[in-house]
Structures are given as structure tokens and as C-alpha cells.
Amino acid sequence: MVQKSELRNSCILSHIESKTTDYANRIALGIRGRYGWREFTYQGLGLLSRKIARYLIEDLEFKKGDGIAILSESKPEYGACVFASTLSGGTIIPLDIKLSEYELTSILSDCLPTVMFVSLKYLDMAIKLQKVIPSIKSLILIDEHTQKTDIEDIYSLPEQYNAKWRQRSSKSTAFIIYTSGTTGAPKGVEISFKNVNAQLECLTDAVKEILPANEKITMLSILPMNHLFEMTVGFSVFLNFGFTIYYTTSLKPKDITDIMKEKGIQFMIVVPAFLKLLKAGIEKEINSSPIIAQYGFKFLYHLAKFIPSYEIKRRIFKKIHDSFGGKFFGCISGGAPLDLEVGKFFERIGIKVYQGYGLSETSPVVSVNTNKRNIMSSVGHPLRNFETKIDETTGELWLRGPSVMKGYHNQPELTAEVIDEDGWFHTGDIAKIDKNGHIYITGRIKNMIVLNGGKKVFPEEIEAVLEKSSYIAEVCVLGTSRTFGAKDGTEEVTAVIVPKAELYNSYSDEDIERMVKLDVKSLSERLAQYKRPTNIVISKNELPKTTTRKVKRKEVKELINI
């Protein structure tokens, strides 16, 4: 393993890359392609990384500190490009493949990379971007090219693997991470090597408290690599342990479970929306089974509440576990709040769910539950290098430590708004911290709705209640301005609701709207009078989301104001 003295070195990713020697013949990364599985051993990953890095340094004469953009879906070659970029002294700029040409142009105009790695799927987009971004001198394809063009691909590069690798200071920028759905002025989070080092040290300790010691764990990656959560935990940390990571080209539940069965997947990094989808699939299967089997499940599910052993619970619900391949035992959930009912469901059937919390600005993980400290309603105990504080006036969570970002790229004024003179990062999240240090996130300051009488309402609290409806697929609560009456201009609580699609097979639009509104009214009785939605908007369309499945509240608000 990496020694702590080594972790002080500026190029932590190059130290992870050295694991290619430690775990030489073990599978590092894999993905199913057109002709079967494409798998890289640790040794193979190392050789490809070095070959690409040598090409950057000696053939392209890439300059230390220049930007390297990556436009690609998640795949093993992506990882090789990350390591190669670090070895060559570059700053890595992972791009969101779901952004428009306009949005990508805005980002690239801000960071001005000189090289772009691109997959075949997004090559046409990369060519368009190169024409309008003069700084991009070279495009490099990360797939094997089947057609003769002027664009090099990583597989056809010279078989040379040695060069003078470039060390950089701990204060140098390792990544620039742009927020999902960036429009207007881009906001790029600069993550230094110091930030990366701090995360790796603390997350290594946390993972040791979650996963079995000294075991070869097989992972499935379903989150995009352009997100720091996946890049840091699901890639860097897990490779540091010598785990095997598989990628999927499809997020369809059947395709995912097929991979889980075939490769014996044991652990995953997920967002709550995925767990909710998985739970719905299991329940659909149960509800379509004979009535005696349904009653049997309900009895065993209730009984499992009193069984502490996960091994026994896995045996009780063996049929469900077999549908995942029989080896899947847990996941870390982050990126959005975890629905407690969803978390309890998986815990009850023998699958551990560890909720965590973080932001891109904190590199990104702040806290995570572990076997020693696991309270599902909490986002966990902070990693050991974080100081935490709650602002007495607003209830906002403040953080300080070596994982806090350098700042926003080219935006010192915006940086000063979130990191104060004493180094405290103002998260924008409303939180509570219990006597044992566990963090509980209760809302976002910017989402807060301030009513006419000064009462403050947090949408997340209302959404947690309304999501219990059997009629609702999605809900977004926000504040909208009244445009009539005595309270003209004041905010009111509005719930934008997407009913479950199957309802439209049996009921008219009018009936569905009536059913949903009655159910919302009934569920809202659990809330204080002032928190209850006074305006309910029904939508047939899925709510706009980021790639980590967070609802884009601003876009929802724009949609209902049209």
C-alpha cells in the first residue's frame, strides 16, 4: 500500500499508477464491447498510461501545467488517459457528455486546454469544438480507430513507454471540475494535488472500515467519470486497493443485473435514484408472483427487522440476491439525499447502504457512514481531516481542511464568497451535528422558501413526505411568487409532481390529477400548516436532472413559469 510518507508527494495519481506493479496480473478495469469483454490488467493499464504520457511529452511537446480535456463515456481507456495526463504534468478537465455544444464551448473557452481525449462516440462534437477553440491543438481518440484519418488513437501510438515524468507541486491544479448543466459563466472547481492527497489518505481509512480487509473486491461503476465522486472514490481509491472495476454502457436495470451476475459484482458506488429504481424492480417482481409468495415475503421482511446478521438476511432473501449474482453485499450512496425507506429496504434484505456526503468544492467527500459508525438518517461522520462548524445564525454547515478546493477557476470574487478569510468553506447546506459528530443535512439555503410571515420552509422536508405517495414518481418542491391578491409578490409553496406512468394506462388525465391532489392533501397533514403546498402542478414529463440524477430546480421553475 501507499505509505504516508509517499502520500506527501505531489503526484498522488502517479503513485496509484505504480500499483500496476503491485497487482500486475489482476484485472483492473473492464467493459463489455461488441465482441465480448475488454479487460485491462493493472500491468496493461500501466503500460497504456505510460505510452500515452510519453507521446504527450515527446511527440506533442505538451507543456507542464497545460489543460487536457476528456470527452468520453466511462470506459477503461478513460482511466489510462487520467494517469497519462498526470504523468505528463497536465491539468485534467473531465467534460460532461450530456452538455450541449454551446455549453461545452463556454467551458473550454474558460479553461483553454491544449489537448482533448475523445471517444469515437463524441468525435464529431470534438471536431466542432476544436474549430472554435484555438487552444486545442490536438485531438486523440481513445478508441481503436477503424478508419484512416489525421486523428491519432491511443492504440496506434508508438510502443514506447519511458520518458521523464513530470512532478508538480502540491499546490498545482490536478483537476478542473465544471458543475453539471453549466450555462452562462462557467464555474470550474480547481482541485489541487494537496486536495487529492488528503482525500486519498482519509478515504483509504474509511474504506477499510466498510469493506472486508485484504479481499479482492469486484466493483460495478455506473456513475460518469466526469464527476469527482466517481473519479475519487469509484476510481482512484478503489484502484489503490487493487480492486477490479467494471463499467456498463447501459443503465437499464436488466443490463446492469446481467453484468452483476456474470462478473460477480460485490460493491457499488450509487446515487439514491438508482437504489429507488432497483427497489421498484424488486417490488414489481414480488407483486407479480403468486399471492402466497407475496405474503411470504411480507412475513420474512417483517421478521428481518429483528435479525442483526446480514449473512442470515441474505440467506432468507436468497432469491433476490441470486437475481444480482449472489455476491452483491453493499454500496456507498451519495450525490443526493437518501430516501430512508429505500435505505431501510435494502438493509432489511441484507444489502448494506452507507450514506455519504460531499461537494465538488471539497474534493468531494466530506463524510460517510462506516461499519463502526452507521446511522442511516445521517450522512456520516466527517473524514478526519475536516473541521466542522454550524453557523449560529443560518444553520449553515461550514468546513475547513486540506480537502477544500483551491477556488473557482478565473473567479476570485466568487471564490471569496464561499471561502472566508479564516479558510472556512460555506457549503450552502443547512445541517445539524450530534454530540458524536454525525452530520445531518436538512436543506439548502438557496432552496429555502421564505413565506409572507417570515416562516422558512425547506423543500427537502416536504419532498420526503410527498414521496411516500403510491401515485407519485417524482416531486420537486419550490417557492413561486404569487401574482394576484393581497399577497401579490410573496412566495408560496409549490409542488411539481410527475405521476407514475402506469396510472395513465388505467385513468384519465383528470382522474389522475384529482387522485394525486387528494393524496398530497392527505400526506401534507403530517406537516405544519404553513409547510403544506398551496399550489400543485402536474406534469407528464420527467423532471430535468443532472447526470447524477439531481433535479434541476431552476429549470423546473422556468418550466412552470412558461
Q: Phi and psi at residue 488, in whole multiples of 5°? A: -55, 130
Determine the 3-state secondary structure of 32 from DSSP: strand
- Which domains are assigned to the chain? 4-187+218-240 (3.40.50.12780), 245-444 (3.40.50.12780), 448-561 (3.30.300.30)
Give me the mean pLDDT over the 205-216 stretch. Answer: 89
Burial class (CB in 10 A: 0-12, 13-18, 19+), 522: exposed
In order, the DSSP letters of 185-221 are S--EEEEEHHHHHHHHHHHHHHHHTTSPTT---EEEE
Chain-centroid distance, C-alpha 515: 34
Whole-angstrom distance, CA of residue 373 vs CA of residue 390: 21
The confidence score (pLDDT) of residue 9 equals 39
Question: Which range, of 90-99, 100-109, 141-150, 383-392, averages the lowest pLDDT?
Answer: 141-150
State in Å, rounded, how far the first CA of the chain is from the last one. 56
Q: At what angle do helices 101-111 and 123-132 cross, to 10 degrees?
A: 50
**CA nearest to 259, candidates 285, 297, 220:** 220
What 8-state DSSP symbol labels residue 232?
Answer: I
Q: How far is CA 23 from CA 53, 211, 255, in A?
A: 21, 18, 29
- The amino acid that residue 521 corresponds to is K
What are the grid coordinates assigned to 446, written together? 438557496
What 8-state DSSP symbol labels residue 505?
Answer: G
Determine the 3-state secondary structure of 312 from DSSP: helix
Question: Which range, of 3-7, 304-308, 503-507, averages the lowest pLDDT?
Answer: 3-7
Whole-angstrom distance, CA of residue 347 vs CA of residue 279: 12
The confidence score (pLDDT) of residue 185 equals 66
pLDDT tens digits for range 449-497? 878 766 778 888 899 899 999 999 999 999 887 655 545 556 889 999 9
The confidence score (pLDDT) of residue 13 equals 54
What are the grid coordinates assigned to 353, written together? 447502504
| Distant-in-sequence, close-in-space partners of 135: CB < 8 Å, separation ≥ 6 | 67, 108, 112, 113, 114
Whole-angstrom distance, CA of residue 109 vs CA of residue 107: 5
Q: Per residue in 100-137, is it b (16+ CB within 10 Å) or e — as a string? A: eeebbbbbbebbebbbbbbbbebbebbeebbeebebbe
| Distant-in-sequence, close-in-space partners of 529: CB < 8 Å, separation ≥ 6 | none
What are the grid coordinates assigned to 364, written together? 468531494
The confidence score (pLDDT) of residue 21 equals 81
Whole-angstrom distance, CA of residue 325 vs CA of residue 112: 45
**CA nearest to 334, candidates 210, 213, 423:** 210
**Cell 407483486 found at:** 287
How many CB atoms sit inside 10 A of residue 188's CB? 23
In contact, 352 and 212? CB cutoff 8 Å: no
The confidence score (pLDDT) of residue 146 equals 65
**CA nearest to 439, candidates 361, 341, 365, 371:** 365
Percent of the chain with pLDDT over 70: 93
What are the grid coordinates assigned to 541, written together? 414529463
Average pLDDT along the chain: 90
In order, the DSSP letters of 458-508 are -HHHHHHHHTT-TTEEEEEEEEEE--SSTTTT-EEEEEEEEE-GGGGGTS-
User: β-strand 449-450 against 456-457: which pairing, if any?
Assistant: antiparallel
The confidence score (pLDDT) of residue 337 equals 85
What is the biggest distance separating any 2 CA atoms in the chain, rounded to whole angstroms? 76
Whole-angstrom distance, CA of residue 483 vs CA of residue 473: 29
| Distant-in-sequence, close-in-space partners of 473: CB < 8 Å, separation ≥ 6 | 498, 499, 500, 501
Dihedral, CA atoms, 96, 101, 106, 109, nearest 10 degrees? 100
14 has pLDDT over 90: no
557 has pLDDT over 90: no
